[in-house]
Amino acid sequence: MKRRGDAALRIWRNRSRLLLAVFALIGCGLGARAFELQVLQHDFLLGQGQERQQRVVNVPAHRGMVLDRHGAPLAVSTPVDSVWADPRELLANKDAWPHLAKALSVARAELAARLAEASEREFVYLQRQVTPSEGARIAKLEIAGVHLQREYRRYYPSGEVLGHLLGFTDIDDRGQEGLELAFDAWLVGNPGQEHIVQDRRGQMIKRLQSVRVAQPGRDLTLSVDKRLQYLAYRELKAAVQRHGALSGSVIVLDVHSGEVLAMVNQPGFNPNDRGGFRKAALRNRAVTDVFEPGSTMKTFTVAAALEQGRVTPLTSIDTAPGRLRVGQHTVRDRHNLGVLSVSDILRKSSNVGASRLALAVTPEALWSIFSRAGFGQSSGSAFPGEASGSLAEHSRWREIEQATMGFGYGLSVTALQLVRAYAAIAAGGVLPEITFQKRTEPVEGERILSQRLAAALTQMLEGVTLEGGTGQRAAIPGYRVAGKTGTSKKSTAGGYSDDRYMALFVGFAPATAPRLAAVVVINEPGGEVYYGGQVAAPVFSKVIAGALRLLDVMPDDPRVFQASAGTVGDAS
């Protein structure tokens, strides 16, 4: 028995020693592993932990606001959230997909396809710029691998009213059209970076330090007066609808500073409705579209004849019998206007009279005054997509081309070029520098006409809006108005159309001390009413009358002029 007990004791002791040896070995292994982790791999593991808990994230910088000249906001960037995910983490969490798909309002199959496509990446957007309620709903789900990122979305309080002028930004808040594009470098901010601690779901729980402070974009104060913009928008839209026109534009300028106070087009678009954009409706027709200016160019033809000393405002020109043969071509007036003074050529808008004046001066003289007025070249506004129009060199003109140039055929202009040229007459012969930014200091433009010639042209243009003139519907009670009508046939394959027209009026007021110049362009008015004096002149009257009142400009004519309700009897 004793031997059997000793044997059992030895076995127990051996097993105990073995067990102690095993524990000692395990302890040594754990100690070695701990030493390795705590000492040898400390820096590596600390870095790996920090990579999972600490991140350097971008801090978005909001884009600068766009303001009107009185400080009213026209474009602002509002904070929104975008939903992103780590595909590898979310692919391992398929149970959450139905809830996430419902919150994102997408099909589960679509979500699965997007994650599978991005399976090798660490970042994929699930949805950009969600509403605050959608962001809160997604955050409440607490799905591992799904995160929210703060961004900014552009909002335009005036919608369609300023759509063409402002343009819009893309989803990353970078300018794509209009002034948003032209001044993108001014408006865009520089994002910052900061060190944060996040939980296992990737949500931030603590900010550690700022790496780089975000720099917001600079605010931009425009020359535009929102009140005048709304006024021009309302009147233009009503006119385009009333006459069944294809499109239209209105520009209002400060004649001395060259500031664009209003610029509108129809049809319009709402920059807030990104899903409803139609490419054809995005362009700012007032600066991108060119057309033959028709009778509005007669003013500069008269200026060339006066400048060369060929005529005076009272010189008589025989336009009978209402047509003029030039080579193999014939220039016609709508009616036989007989003998007209140079002033009456503008007042009655005689094509024959303008042609006789154009042919009486040298081609160089006519081309020179057109060129000095800014035709055939950019206005310098720097608006994206601005057209330069066309004005052929005088050395290439044939006799008939010189004659038709006299009444606005054979060259092309933009609405901005046309109103700028008339603003030069209003400013005493000084061509203003166009700007979309509010000016606080006066800027000297380029003198293109003598002050005496500009004054003579102003007096003659004032007659156009008086009784018997083609532009009497542009008159404004209490104010003296100077301007010119235009009705140009649109060119087609093989010649000019007999039923497609551009109806124009361009002018300024008050004539005795000009403050505002404006142009109205109505493209292809329908029906029997299509002359500039019938279609465009009334829009000018309403827009400038309202603008003068809003700007508290004193009347310069004590008489209350009632515009005639009769039809205009001439083609302009």
Q: Residue 569: its pLDDT value, please?
A: 40
Residue 525 preceded by cis peptide, ω within 30: no
What does the alpha-carbon distance between residue 295 and residue 474 come to, in Å, rounded to a whole number? 16
**Average model confidence (pLDDT) for the chain?**
87
**Residues in Cβ contact with 246 at an 8 Å cutoff, skipping those fewer than 6 apart:** 523, 524
- 13, 50, 60 from 42: Cα distances, Å: 40, 12, 34
Q: Residue 33: its pLDDT value, please?
A: 75
- State the DSSP code for 534: H
What does the alpha-carbon distance between residue 469 and residue 476 come to, in Å, rounded to a whole number? 14
How do beta strands 482-492 and 204-212 pair? unpaired
Q: Which two tokens stand for residue 59?
A: 């801090």
Q: Residue 1: its pLDDT value, please?
A: 57
- Please work out, in degrees rounded to the nearest 5, the angle formed at the alpha carbon of residue 150 by the alpha carbons of 147 and 152: 145
Q: Residue 2: its pLDDT value, please?
A: 60
What does the alpha-carbon distance between residue 40 and residue 21 come to, in Å, rounded to a whole number? 26
Q: Catalytic: which of 82, 249, 295, 488?
A: 295
Q: Residue 15: its pLDDT value, please?
A: 79
What does the alpha-carbon distance between residue 294 and residue 67 come to, in Å, rounded to a whole number? 36
Quick check: is 295 catalytic? Answer: yes
Residues of the chain with pLDDT under 70: 1-5, 37, 41-60, 192-212, 214, 276, 559-572
Whether 76 contacts 153, CB under 8 Å: no
Residue (of 506, 37, 56) closest to 251 by Cα position: 506
- State the DSSP code for 70: T
How do beta strands 124-130 and 66-67 pair? unpaired
- Please work out, in degrees rounded to the nearest 5, the angle formed at the alpha carbon of residue 245 by the alpha carbons of 243 and 250: 95
Domains, the chain? 56-115+122-221 (3.90.1310.10), 226-268+284-550 (3.40.710.10)
What one-character-per-residue DSSP string does 74-138 give? Answer: EEEEEEEEEEEE-HHHHHT-GGGHHHHHHHHTS-HHHHHHHHHHTTT-S-EEEEEEE-HHHHHHH
First to last CA, the chain: 139
What does the alpha-carbon distance between residue 107 and residue 127 come to, in Å, rounded to a whole number? 13
Query: Is the Cα dihedral 445, 446, 450, 453 positive or negative?
Result: negative
Q: Residue 45: its pLDDT value, please?
A: 55
The residue count for the chain:
572
Residue (of 395, 436, 428, 404) closest to 515 by Cα position: 428
Q: Residue 149: its pLDDT value, please?
A: 77
What does the alpha-carbon distance between residue 467 and residue 455 come to, in Å, rounded to a whole number? 21
Whether 99 contacts 143, CB under 8 Å: yes
Whether 509 contacts 456, CB under 8 Å: no
Strand partners, 479: 476
Whether 389 contacts 290, CB under 8 Å: yes
Q: Residue 200: its pLDDT value, please?
A: 55
* Residue 528 burial (10 A CB sphere; 0-12, 13-18, 19+): exposed
